[in-house]
A and B are shown apart, each in its own frame.
Chain A
Amino acid sequence: MSQSATVSRKMGMFLGLLLVAVAAIVIAELDSGVAAWFKSQGIGKNPLEYPLIAVALGLLVNAVLRATKTHAVLQPAMRTELFLKVGLILMGARLDITQILSQGIGGLLQAVVMVTSVFFFTWWIGTKLKVNEQLKAVMAAAVSICGVSAAIAAAGAVVAKKKEITYVTALVIMTAIPLMIATPWIAQALGLPADIAGAWFGGNIDTTAAVVGAGTLYGEEAQAVATVVKMSQNALIGVAAFLLALYFVVRIEKKPEEKPSAAMIWHRFPKFVLGFILVSALASLGLFGADIVGALQALSKWAFAMAFFSIGLELSVRELGKMGWRPLAVYGAATAFNTVLALGVAWLVFGVMGF
Chain B
Amino acid sequence: MGRGRRQDQASLWGRLGEDWISVIVGLAVVLFVWLVGFSSIPWPLFGVFK
Contacts and interface: CB of A to CB of B under 8 A. Distances in A.
B7 A1 contact: yes
Q: Which label, helix, strand, loop or mixed, suits the secondary structure of the B interface?
A: helix
Interface stretch (A40-48, A67-75, A288-296): A288-296
B12 interface: no
Interface in A2-47: 6, 25, 28-29, 31-32
Contacts of B25: 82, 86
Interface string B1-25: 0011001000000000111111101
A205 interface: no
Nearest to B1: A1
A298 interface: yes
A50 B21 CA distance: 26
Contacts of B26: 85-86, 88-90, 272, 275, 279
A86 B46 CA distance: 17
A151 to B, nearest CB: 15
A299 interface: yes
Given A1-B7, A28-B45, A79-B18, A275 B23 contact: yes
**Contact-size category for B:** 20 to 34
A312 interface: no
Interface residues of A, number: 39
Contacts of B39: 291
Contact of B22 (A6, A89, A287, A294): A89
A89 B30 contact: yes
A291 B36 CA distance: 12
Interface in A272-305: 272, 274-275, 278-279, 282, 287-288, 291-292, 294-299, 301-302, 305
B38 A295 contact: yes
A100 interface: no
Contacts of A1: 3-4, 7
B21 A82 contact: yes
A279 B3 contact: no
B33 A292 contact: yes
Contacts of A288: 34
Given A271-B22, A298-B49, A299-B29, 5 more contacts: A272-B26, A275-B26, A287-B34, A292-B34, A302-B49
Interface of B: 3-4, 7, 17-23, 25-27, 29-30, 33-34, 38-39, 45-46, 48-50
Interface of A: 1, 6, 25, 28-29, 31-32, 50, 79, 81-82, 85-86, 88-90, 93, 156, 270-272, 274-275, 278-279, 282, 287-288, 291-292, 294-299, 301-302, 305
**Shortest 5 CB-CB contacts between residues of A and residues of B:** A89-B26, A295-B38, A85-B22, A28-B48, A275-B23
21 contacts: A31-B48, A50-B49, A81-B22, A82-B18, A85-B18, A85-B23, A86-B29, A89-B27, A90-B30, A271-B20, A272-B22, A275-B27, A278-B27, A279-B26, A282-B30, A287-B34, A292-B33, A292-B34, A295-B33, A298-B46, A298-B49
